[in-house]
Amino acid sequence: MLIIYLFIGISINLAETHEVFSARVPYQVWSESINGNEEIFFKYESWGKENAVRLTYLNGLDVAPVVLEDANALIRVVWSNVNGDQSLLFHSTSQDGVEWSSPQKIPTGMKINSAPALALDGNNRLWLFWSGSQKGSSDDIYSLKLDGGIRETPLRVHATNSIPDILPQTRTTAAGEMAVVWMVLTQEGYKKQAAKWEQSQWVRQDISAFETEYQAKGCPLNDNPYPSTAVIFNRLNENRTNKVKAKQANVAGTEQNYDEFFLTFGDSITFGNSSHGYQGELGRILSRNGRNAKIYNLGKQGETTVEGLNRLNYLLAEVPTDYLLLLEGANDLRFGISQQTTMANLGAMLDNSVAANVEPIIANLTPDGTNGGYNRAIANSYNPQIKALADRKRMTFSDQYTPLSQNWGDYTDDGLHPNSAGYRMMANTWYDAIVVLGQKPRVTTRAPAEVQATNATLSALVTPNGTETRCYFEYGDGDELVFNSEEIIIGAQEPETPVEITIYDLEPLTQYRYRAVAVNETGNKSGGIKSFQTIEKDPDTGGSGCFMDTINY
C-alpha cells in the first residue's frame, strides 16, 4: 500500500519516492486505504497517529489532500474524490483540528478536478488552484478565491487549448503578488508555464524571465501543493540527458550482435526487482522462436506518465530500438494526475514512437491487490480507456490484466508487483502481442508528393507482410481526421511499396493533417501524422505547399 503524507512543518520522505518536501505549518494530512476506499486523515504534528481525525466517509477514492490555515485561523483541507469517470473537489474546515465540518463539494462546474494547491496572498486571501476539465476535454489550470464561503466562479489561469495543463504550484512575492506555475504538454514533452495575478486578471509570464525575477526576490514555490506535485516538478527538472547517455554507454557496441531491439518501458512493474522482471523470460521465448533480439529494461520505479513521456522522448533519440513495450499509468492517480491526462500522455508516447520509426505495443495496467478502490479504478476505468486508445490509434494491444487477475494471488507476493510466476506470465503475454504485430502490415506516412490549392497527392510506404493489403489516407483540417481517400490494393507478396493517392476538394490556404492506413486480415496499422498547407488558388500569386511533422495529442 502506498500512503502519501503531506507533512507541514517538517521535512519527510514520500513513500517509495525518496523525495523531500517541506513546509511551514504544524499539520499533517494524508490519504489511507480503509475498507477498499481511500480516506483523508488530519493530525497535528505533535499527535500520535492513533489520534488522527478521519475527515471522509465518501464513496470512491479520496486523494491528493492539501491543508492551509487562513487569516481567521480557520484550517481548511481540500482534496479530490475520484469515483468512476469523474473526480470532484471537496473541502472541510476546523477551528481546532478536532471538530471538522462535513465534507462539502466545491462547485467548480467541472467533472474532472485534480491536484489542488492552496496559497495565501499578501492580503491574507486564501486561493485554491487545481487542474480541471469536462469529460472529453483536456485539463486546464483554474483558480478560486476562498474568502469565507465560496462565492466566486472558477477562473481559468491561461487561454483555452486542447492539450493538458496540470500540476499547479503557487508563488507569492514579498509584495503579496500571487502567481502560479504549472506543467503544459508540448511536442517536446512537459514544460513549465507561469501566470501572475495583475489588475484582477491572470497575465501569462515568460517562464525564463519569471523564474529569474522570483529567484531574485527570494520567492521560492509555496510549500502547500499536494506534495507529489513538488516531486514531479523536481524529477522533471533533473538532467535526464546525462542519465540517458549513461544508459546508452551500457548498450553501446551491442548493435552488431543482434537483429532487433526491444525497449521495455514503464514504472516499477516493468523495472521488476533484483531477482526478476519479464525481460529475461521474454528474451528466452524470442530466442526459442528464432529471433536474435536485445531487450532493454528501461522501467523506472514510481514514475508517472508525465515524467515517462519526457524520459521516453530522450530514449527514442538515444537508444537504438525497433519495438516499444509500453506499460505505465498506475502511479498517476496517486500523484494527482487525471485519467484523461494519463491517456493523453500515453497517446503522445505512441505517436512519438511511430514518428521515430519504432513499433509500439501498449499494455493495460496489472492488478492492484493492496487497495480495492485502486483495483476497481484500474479494471473499470483505466484499462478500458487504454484499450480504446490502442484501437483508436490502431496500435497493437497486450492484455496483461486479464491473465494475471484470474489467479493474482499466485502471481504476486506483495499484492502489487508480479513475482517470478507473474513475470513469466507477462513475458508470454507480451510475446503473443509481438507475434500479432509481426503479422500486421507496416506503413510509414511520407511527405506529400505535391500540394496545390484544392488538391494534394499524399505519399506512404507500405509492406504487406505476406497478406493482401488495402491502403488509404485519413485527413482533415482540424484535430480529427474525418475524411478518407480512395483505397489501393497491394499484393500479398509485394515488398515495401511506395503509395501515392490524390485527394480533392480542399480549401486554399488551409492546413490539413493526414496519415496513411494499411489494412489486412490480421489487423490494421496507421503511420505517423503529418501536415501540409494548400497554396493560394490564383497561381499568379506564386507560392507552394509546405508540410511539417506533427504529433497528434
The residue ranking higher by pLDDT, 269 or 16, is 269
For the segment 184-235, what is each residue's pLDDT rounded down to a tens digit?
999 889 999 999 999 889 999 999 888 887 777 666 555 455 566 777 777 7
pLDDT for position 225: 55
Amino acid identity, residue 509?
L
User: Quick one: pLDDT at residue 104?
Assistant: 94
Round the average pLDDT of the chain to a whole number and report it.
85
pLDDT band at 146 (very low <50, low <70, confident <90, very high): confident
Range of lowest pLDDT (34-43, 185-194, 224-233, 269-278)? 224-233
The CB density around residue 200, as the number of other CB atoms within 10 Å, is: 6
| More confident of the two residues 412 and 172 | 412
The CATH number given to 240-439 is 3.40.50.1110
Distance separating alpha carbons of residues 385 and 402, to the nearest angstrom: 15
CATH no., domain 5-236: 2.115.10
Pair 120, 129: CB distance under 8 Å = no
Torsion angle of C-alpha atoms 477, 479, 481, 482, degrees rounded to 10: -80
Say whether pLDDT at 278 is over 90: yes
pTM recorded for the entire structure: 0.83
pLDDT of residue 245 exceeding 50: no
Residue 141: per-residue pLDDT: 97
DSSP 2-18: ---EEEESS-EEPTTT-
In angstroms, the CA 373 to CA 334 distance is: 12
Does residue 70 contact residue 76 with C-beta atoms inside 8 Å? yes
Pairing relationship of beta strands 20-21 and 27-34 according to DSSP bridges: unpaired
Please tell me the class of the 442-549 domain.
mainly beta
pLDDT of residue 540: 58
Q: For position 4, what pLDDT does the model report?
A: 43
Alpha-carbon distances, residue 323 vs 246, 316, 326, 391, 510 (angstroms):
21, 10, 10, 18, 35
Q: pLDDT (tens digit, 9 = 90+) per residue, 358-403?
A: 999 999 999 998 888 889 999 999 999 999 999 999 999 999 999 9
Q: According to the model, what pLDDT value does residue 224 have?
A: 54
Per-domain residue ranges for the chain?
Answer: 5-236, 240-439, 442-549
Q: What does DSSP say about strands 140-145 and 201-205: parallel, antiparallel, or unpaired?
A: unpaired
Q: What is the pLDDT of residue 551?
A: 38
| Least confident residue range of 145-154, 347-356, 422-431 | 145-154
Q: Which amino acid is at 404?
A: L
Q: Using 50, 70 and 90 to split pLDDT, how confident is the model at 331? A: very high
If you average pLDDT over each of 64-73, 444-453, 491-500, which comes out highest? Answer: 444-453
Neighbours of 15 (CB within 10 A): 14
450-502 pLDDT, tens per residue? Answer: 999 999 999 999 999 888 999 999 999 988 899 999 999 999 888 899 999 99
* Predicted confidence (pLDDT) per residue in 102-138, tens digit: 999 999 999 999 999 999 888 888 899 999 998 778 9
Q: What share of the chain is helix, strand, coil (3-state, %, to 5)?
A: 25, 35, 40
Rounded to 5 degrees, what angle do the CA atoms 72, 77, 82 make? 155
Predicted pLDDT of residue 418: 96
Share of residues in the chain with pLDDT > 90 (%): 63
| Residues of the chain above pLDDT 70, percent | 85
pLDDT at 353 over 80: yes
If you average pLDDT over residues 442-457, what whole number do you get?
Answer: 95
pLDDT at 249: 42
Residue 440 has pLDDT above 50, yes or no: yes
The mean pLDDT value for 58-85 works out to 90
| Residue 250 pLDDT > 50 | no
